[in-house]
Chains A and B, each alone.
Chain A
Amino acid sequence: MDIVTVQNLKKYFGSGPRQVRAVDGISLSIEKGKLTAVIGASGSGKTTLLNLIGGLYKPTEGTVIIDGVNLGRLQEEELTIFRRRKIGFVFQDCNLVPELTVRENILFPLALDNSRPDMIFFEKLTGLLGLQEKLDDFPYMLSGGGQQCTAIARALIARPAIILADEPTGSFDAKTSQNVAGLLKMTTDTFHQTLIMITHNLELAQLADYVVRLQDGRIVQ
C-alpha cells in the first residue's frame, strides 16, 4: 500500500525572468515501511520536495496525498494538526528547544497535541537510541550525535505515518554520521516506519529500498 502519493508536483519561487523552478513536475509513490533516499546536486530541489511532502510549502501545482489525505484540501490549522500527528521531521541542525530537557524535547509534539505518551514505546525508543542516561540533560550538554538522536526520537514519538529527514547526518564526521544513520534506519525498521531521507552520502543511499535522484527539479534515472 502506498503511504505517500505525489502527482505532477511543481513549486516555483518568484516570478518573471528570475523565477526558480525548484520542483518541476514530480510524480512518485512510496510504499509503507520502506526507506527512500533522495539524492542530487546542491540546488536540485531536494529540500523543496521534502517540504512539499511535509506540508510546509504550498505547491504551485500538483497534489500530495499522505495516508489517504490530500494536503491541498486542508486548512492552515488542520494542516498543522495533521503535521504533528502524521509527519516527523529530522533536520540537519537538529533544532532542539534549548530550554527543554531531552525527555521534554522528545515529548514536546505530544504535549502540543495534548495526548498521552505511550511510556513503553518511549522507553523502547530511547533505549534503542541510547538516550536513557541522558533524559534529564539539556541539549547543550549532549554531543552532536546525541542531539540528533533526540531529534529522531522526537520525530518518531507520535508514531507518524512518515518521517522526513533532510540531511540528518550532514553536519557530522564520517563515524558519527554512520552511527546516526544506522540508528535512524534501525529504529524506523523496528517500528515499521516509512522514511524519506535526503542525503549526499552515497553509502547511506545504499541502505535505502529506493533511491530518487533529482536534477533541476525533476526525477532522473
Chain B
Amino acid sequence: MDDILKTLTRRSFAASRARNWIAVLAIALTAVLFTAITTIVIGTAESFTLTIQMQKMSQSDGDLRYMTEEQFEALHQADFIDTAGLRMPVAFLTNASRHNIEFNIEDEIQAELTFCVPTHGRTPSAANEVVASDLALRDLGIEPEVGAEIMIAFTAHGQHYTLPMIVSGWYEALNSQMSVLWAGTAFREEHPEIFRYTFSADRELAGTYWSDFTVRSTLNLEKKLRELVFGLGGEPDDMNAPNYMPAVVNQVTNTRPSFFQITATVVFAALFMLCGYLLIYNVFDIAVMQDIRRFGLYRTIGMSRKQVRRLINQQAFWLSCIGIPLGLLVGFFTGKAALPLIMNMVVTEYRHLAADVSPSSALFLTAAALTALTVFCSTRKPIRIAANTPPIDAFRYVENSGGRRASRKSALGTSIPRLAWSNLGRNRQRTAFIMLSLTLCVVLLNCAGTAADSVDVEKETAFMMRTDFAVVNEASTSNFKGFVRRSDALKAKTIADIAARPGITDGSVVYKNTAEDTNVTYDFGHSLTGETYRNDSSGLTFGYDHVYNHYGLGDDGRMICNVYGMAENALARMDLREGETNPHVLYEKMAAGDGILVGVGVNRRDMSFVPMLDLADVGQIITVYKNGTPIMELPILAKAALNGDDQEIGFTVNGPNEIGGDGLFLYLPANIYEKLYEQPTVYKYSFNIEDEYEAEMTAFLEDYMKTTDPSMNYLSAQSARKSSEGTQQMIRFVGGFVGLIFGLAGVLNLINTIITTILTRRQEFAAMESVGMTRRQLTGMMVWEGVYYAAGACLFGLVLAAALNLTLVKSLVDSMWQFTFHFTLLPALGACVVLLLVSAVVPILALRCFRKGSIVEQLRITE
C-alpha cells in the first residue's frame, strides 16, 4: 500500500517541474562549489608536492639504503610496503665535466619514483644499454639521441672501468647539477665483480642494494620503518655500525597540511555551506509554503507528521540524486580547468607543472557528503513547518498568516513603487536571505578588489630589482643553495656573450666575497660574545653578538662581512640615505681609498633602517685586515638602505646569510675590491635594456640558459612584475569567484521569490487587472520590487564594504609589506550596477514566462 505514497511522491515531483529545476540547480550549485574547491585544493597541494619532489628527485614515500641482497628481498615481504624499486649505486662517473652523473643499476619502479623514466626511447635491456638525462649526455659530449654511443668511466672497489655503452633512451633532467644514468640488471649479470657486497667492511657502495618505495598507508610510517630495519638486522641510527641502514621517510611526499591551509579550507567550506544553505533553504521554504494547503489536507485525511517529513525528505533525496552528481561533474571539470590557471598564478618555478587531478572517490565523496549535509541542514526547518501544519486551519486561514495584509489591497490608489515597497515585508526571512546573499556578494567582491588593488606591484618589483635584468649563477636563485663559493660565480664567457648583445645600457658586474675569502676581515669595534658555531653549508665559523645577530668569521677570528665590489653606475642605483649622498662624489672618494659605503637592512613596509641591523655610524672607521694584518682604515662615508637586489636578487637570502651573516653589508668600488681580494668572484651581471631589445634579450637568455650555460639563471624586472601581478590576479580570481557565487545565490533566490510572488498573488493580480491595472503597470510593480531588493543590498553592501575596507582589509593589507592600502569602492559599485540591472530584468522575464501559459497550465493541474 506504500505504493500510493510513492506514486504521489513521483507525480507531485513531475507536476512541479519548474520548482524542482530550481531546487536541482541550487543543490547542483552547492555541489559545484564543494567539488571545485576540493579539486583545486587537492590539485594545488599535489602540484606543490610534485614540484618539490622533482627538486628532491624522488616521489617515493621513503627509502632504505646499504642493504644486502637478502635484506632487499626481505623488504618486499613487509606488509606495509606497496611497491619497492631497485637501485644499486655504482659510482659517480669520472669522465663527466660539470654535471654530476650518478651511475646506478635500476629497475622501472625505481626509475618511475625518481623521475628518470626515458621520455624518448626505451628502458635498457641489454647489458650495454643505459638511460641518461639530456644534460648528462651533453656533458659527456653527445647530443641526446636514442642509439648514440657513449663512454662511461668510473671507479668501483678500487678498480677503474671505462666502458662503451649505447643510449637506449633519455629523459629531460630536472636538476642542472646532477642526474642519474642507469643500466638494467643485465649489466649486473655481466659484471658481477662490481657488485660484490663489501659495505660492512669497507663502506664500498657498489654492491649495496637501495630502494625507494611507496607504502599502503603513511600512518606511523617512521615507526613501522624503524621496526622493519631492526627486523632486517639493520641499525638505523649509528652511522659507524657495520650494519648501518638509515630509514628515511620522504618528508616532501608525506607533508601534513599547514594550519593555514586547513583554516583556509574550513573557511571556504563554511562560506560555501552558508551559500548553499541560503539557496536550498529558500527553495524548500517556498515549496512548502506553496503546498501548505496540501499538507493541511494530508494531515486532515490522517497523514502523520512522520509521514509528512518522510514525504519531503524523499523529495529532497530525489532532488539531491539529480543535483549532486550533476554538480560533482560540473564542479570537477571546472576545478580541473581552473587548476592550471591558479598554478600559473601562484607558482613561478616549474611553471608548466600542474598535477593532473584524477577523479578520486575521496574527492567526490567529500564533496557529495558536504552537499548532502548542506541539503539536510537547509531542509530541516521547511520540513518542520510542513509537518506542523495544523490540519484544517491550512484551508482557510493561510491567506491571512502574513498579517497586516488586508489594508494592502486598498493601496491601488497610490503609486506603483509604493505598492511594490509594501510587498517587501510579506516574508521577512526570505527578504533577509536575498539581502544577505546579495550583500555578501557586494562585500566580498569589494574586499577582494581592495586587496588586489592594494598589491603594490611597483614597490615589490622595485624591491626585487633595480635593473631590467640581473644574470647570476643558478645557485644564487635557489632557496636551497645561495651564492656561497667561488664556484657559484657567473662565468666570464657568459657575461661577455651577454654584453655583446645590442641594446644594453648601464651594464655592470658586481663582485661578492665567498666562503673561501676568509683572509680578508673587518673590524668596526662591534664586540661578540665569544660563543661560536659552525655553519654546515658554508663551512664557516659564526659568532654572536649580544642581541644574537650572527657574523661569519675569517681566519683571524674577525668578521668577514658581506662585501660587494662594483662600478660607479651600479653604485649610483643604490638608495643613499646618510652621509655623502651624491653617488659620483662618493664613488670618487671611495675609489681613491678614502672610505667605504655601508648598507643597512630595512623594514620592507616603510623602507626605514632596522635599528638592530644599523650597527655603525657615518664617520666611524672600519679597519680592513688581510691575512691578520691591518692594511686599510676606511671611514664610513655614507649609508644606504638595502633592498633585495643589493643583497641577492629576488628574495633569496641564503648567500649573505651564510657568509657575513647579519654583519655589515659593505660596498666598495671595483678597483679597491680587486686589490683586497685575490680572486674577485663575480656574483652578478646586471643591466638595463632599451625597450625595443627587451623581448629579444629575454629570448636570448632563455635560449642561452638551455643550450650554452645551464648553470646560469636570470631575473628580469618584467618577470618580477609578473610574479607580483600573479598575487594580484590570484586575489581577484578567488575573491571574484566567491563573490560571484554569492551573487548567483542571491539572484537565484530573487528569481525564486519573484516567481513565488507571482504564483501566490495571481488572484490579487487578476483583481488588480480587473480594476484597471495594466500589464505594464503590473510588470512595473514587480520590477520595482526586484530593484528594491537589489538597492537595499547595494546600500548595505556599500556601507559594509567601506567599513570592512577601512578595518579588516586595511589591517590585513598593512601587515604585509608588498601591499599599500588603496581604498576603493569601485568593485562594489560595479557589482551594484550589475545587480540592479539583473534584479530589474528578472521580474520582466519571469512575467513573460507566465504569459506564455506553460506554468499556468501546471498551476491548473496542481489546483
Q: A-side interface residues toward B, CB under 8 Å?
A: 51, 54, 56-57, 76-77, 80-81, 83-85, 89, 91, 95, 97-100, 104, 107-117, 140, 154
Contacts of A109 in B (CB 8 A): 301-302
A108: chain B residues at CB < 8 Å are 4, 8, 301
Name the one of A80, A83, A113, A116 contacting B305, with C-beta atoms under 8 angstroms: A80
In the bound complex, CA of A81 to CA of B2 (Å): 16
Q: How far is the CA of A25 from the CA of B151 in the complex (A)?
A: 116
Complex contact B301–A81 (CB within 8 A): no
B863 and A98 within 8 A (CB) = yes
Which residues of the other chain, A, contact B12 by a CB distance below 8 angstroms?
Answer: 99
B785 to chain A, nearest CB (A): 30
Cβ–Cβ contact A80 & B4, under 8 A: no
Across the interface, do B1 and A80 meet the contact criterion of CB distance under 8 Å?
A: no
B5: A residues at CB distance < 8 A: 111-112
- Sample 20 A-B pairs with CB under 8 A, ordered by A number: A56-B391, A56-B392, A56-B393, A57-B392, A80-B304, A81-B302, A85-B302, A95-B395, A97-B294, A97-B297, A98-B862, A99-B8, A99-B12, A99-B15, A104-B8, A107-B1, A108-B301, A111-B5, A112-B5, A112-B301
A97 partner residues in chain B, CB cutoff 8 A? 8, 294, 297-298
Cβ–Cβ contact A81 & B304, under 8 A: yes
Q: When the two chains form their complex, are residues B861 and A140 in contact, meaning their CB atoms are under 8 A apart?
A: yes
Contact A116 B1 (CB under 8 A): yes
Q: Closest CB of chain A to B824's CB: distance in Å?
A: 54
B303 at the interface (CB under 8 A from A): yes
Closest to A154 in B: B301
Chain B residues within an 8 Å CB radius of A83: 300, 302
Q: Is the CB of A112 within 8 A of B861?
A: no
Quick check: A98 and B861 within 8 Å, CB to CB? yes
Query: Could you say which of A91, A95, A100, A107 has the most chain B C-beta atoms within 10 Å of its C-beta?
Result: A95
Q: Are A112 and B303 in contact (CB under 8 A)?
A: yes
Whole-angstrom distance between the Cβ of A128 and the nearest chain B Cβ: 21
Q: Which residues of B contact A107 (CB under 8 A)?
A: 1, 4
Does B671 count as interface, using CB distance less than 8 angstroms?
no
A38 to B861, CA, bound (A): 34
**A95–B297 touching, CB < 8 Å:** yes
- CB of A56 within 8 A of CB of B2, answer no
Contact of B302 among A57, A100, A112, A116 (CB under 8 A): A112
B5's nearest neighbour on chain A, judged by CB, is A111
Smallest CB gap from A92: residue in B: B395
Q: Which residue of A lies closest to B14 (CB)?
A: A99
Report Cα–Cα, A200/B452, bound state, in Å. Answer: 75
**Are B8 and A100 in contact, CB atoms less than 8 angstroms apart?**
yes
What does the 1/0 interface line of B1-40 toward A look like (CB < 8 Å)?
1111101100110010000000000000000000000000
Sorted nearest first, the 10 A-B pairs with minimum C-beta distance are A84-B302, A99-B11, A111-B4, A56-B392, A111-B1, A80-B304, A56-B391, A95-B297, A83-B302, A104-B4
Instruction: Name the residue on B nearest A100 (C-beta).
Output: B8
Q: Is the CB of A100 within 8 A of B11?
A: yes
Provide the residues of chain A in CB contact with B299, threshold 8 Å: 80
B771 to A: closest C-beta gap in Å: 26
Could you mark each residue 336-373 of chain B with 1 if its beta carbon is under 8 Å from any beta carbon of chain A, else 0? 00000000000000000000000000000000000000
Choice from A77, A84, A115, A140 contacting B301 with Cβ under 8 Å: A84
Residues of B within 8 A of A80 (CB): 299, 302-305
Which of chain A's residues have a CB closer than 8 A to the CB of B408? none
B290 at the interface (CB under 8 A from A): no
Selected contact of B1 from candidates A57, A84, A115, CB within 8 Å: A115
Contact for B304 among A51, A77, A91, A95, CB less than 8 A:
A77
A68 CB to nearest B CB, Å: 19
A100, B1: Cβ atoms closer than 8 Å: no
Give CA–CA (A98, B304) in the complex, Å. 20
**B860 lies within 8 A of chain A by Cβ:** yes
Q: Which residues of A contact B11 (CB under 8 A)?
A: 99-100
Q: Which residue of B is nearest A158, CB measured? A: B302
Contacts of A100 in B (CB 8 A): 4, 7-8, 11
- B393 contacts which chain A residues (CB < 8 A)? 56
User: Is the CB of B532 closer than 8 A to any CB of chain A?
Assistant: no
Give min CB distance, B829 to chain A, whole Å.
Answer: 48
| Residues of B with C-beta under 8 A to A89 | 300-301
A56 contacts across to B, CB distance below 8 A: 300, 390-393
Within 8 A of A (CB), among B431-464: none
Q: Are A104 and B7 in contact (CB under 8 A)?
A: yes
Q: Which residues of the other chain, A, contact B395 by a CB distance below 8 angstroms?
A: 91, 95
Q: Mark B819-863, 1 if CB is under 8 A from A, else 0.
A: 000000000000000000000000000000000000000001111
In contact, A114 and B2 (Cβ under 8 angstroms): yes
Verify B392–A51 contact, CB threshold 8 A.
yes
Closest to B11 in A: A99
Q: Which residues of B contact A115 (CB under 8 A)?
A: 1
Is B627 at the interface (CB under 8 A from chain A)? Answer: no
Q: How far is the CA of A81 from the CA of B307 in the complex (A)?
A: 11
A176 to B98, CA, bound (A): 107
Distance to closest chain A CB from B126 (angstroms): 76
| Chain B residue nearest to A89 in the complex (CB) | B300
- Within the complex, what minimum Cβ distance (angstroms) separates B463 from chain A? 70
Contact yes or no, A140 B860, CB < 8 A: yes
CA distance A111 to B1 in the complex (A): 5
Cβ-closest chain B residue relative to A114 = B1
B6 smallest CB distance to A (angstroms): 9
Task: Give A176 Cβ to nearest chain B Cβ, in Å.
Answer: 20
Q: How far is the CB of B506 from chain A (nearest CB, A)?
A: 83
- Rounded to whole Å, the gap between the CB of A177 and the closest CB of chain B is 21
Complex Cα spacing A54 to B395, Å:
15
Closest B residue, CB atoms, query A105: B4
**Complex partner residue of B2 from A76, A95, A99, A111, CB under 8 angstroms:** A111
With both chains docked as a complex, state the minimum distance between the C-beta of A45 and any C-beta of chain B, in angstroms.
Answer: 14
* Across-interface contacts of B391 in A (CB, < 8 A): 56
Residues of A close to B392: CB separation below 8 A = 51, 54, 56-57
A residues less than 8 Å from B305 (CB atoms)? 76-77, 80
Whole-angstrom distance between the alpha carbons of A57 and B394 in the complex?
Answer: 12
Indicate with 1 or 0, residue by residue over B265-309, a CB within 8 angstroms of chain A CB atoms: 000000000000000000000000000001001111111111100
CA A110 – CA B390 in complex, angstroms?
21
For the complex, what is the distance from the CA of A56 to the CA of B303, rounded to whole Å? 13
Which residue of chain B is the closest to A87 with respect to CB atoms? B302
- How far is B300's CA from A81's CA once the two chains are assembled, in angstroms? 10
Shortest beta-carbon distance from A78 to chain B in Å: 10
Q: Across the interface, which residues of B come within 8 angstroms of A140, CB to CB?
A: 860-861
Q: Which residues of A contact B303 (CB under 8 A)?
A: 80, 84, 112
A54 CA to B862 CA, complexed, in Å: 26
- Chain B residues, CB < 8 A from A99: 7-8, 11-12, 15
Please give the distance in Å from B831's CB to the nearest CB on chain A: 42
Min Cβ gap A156→B in Å is 13
Interface residues as binary, B682-700 with A (CB distance below 8 Å gives 1, 0 otherwise): 0000000000000000000
CB closest chain-B residue, reference A83: B302
Give the CA-CA distance A117 to B392 in the complex, in Å: 26
Give CA–CA (A113, B2) in the complex, Å.
Answer: 9
In whole angstroms, how far apart are the Cα atoms of A97 and B863 in the complex? 9
User: What chain B residues lie within 8 Å of A114 (beta carbons)?
Assistant: 1-2
CA distance A115 to B302 in the complex (A): 13
B residues less than 8 Å from A95 (CB atoms):
297, 300, 395
CB of A44, distance to nearest CB on chain B (Å):
16
Bound-state Cα–Cα, A91 to B306, Å: 25
Q: How far is the CB of A171 from chain B (nearest CB, A)?
A: 14
A112 to B304, CA, bound (A): 8
> What B residues does A91 contact at CB under 8 A?
395
CA of A91 to CA of B3, assembled, Å: 26
* Chain B min CB distance to A131 (Å): 17
- In the bound assembly, the distance between CA atoms of A91 and B396 in angstroms comes to 12
Contact, CB under 8 Å: B1 / A110: yes
Point out which of B1, B294, B393 has the most chain A C-beta atoms below 10 A from its C-beta.
B1
Q: Mask for B60-92, Cβ within 8 A of A = 1, else 0?
A: 000000000000000000000000000000000
Q: Give min CB distance, B433 to chain A, whole Å.
A: 29
| CB neighbours of B304 from chain A (8 A) | 77, 80-81, 112
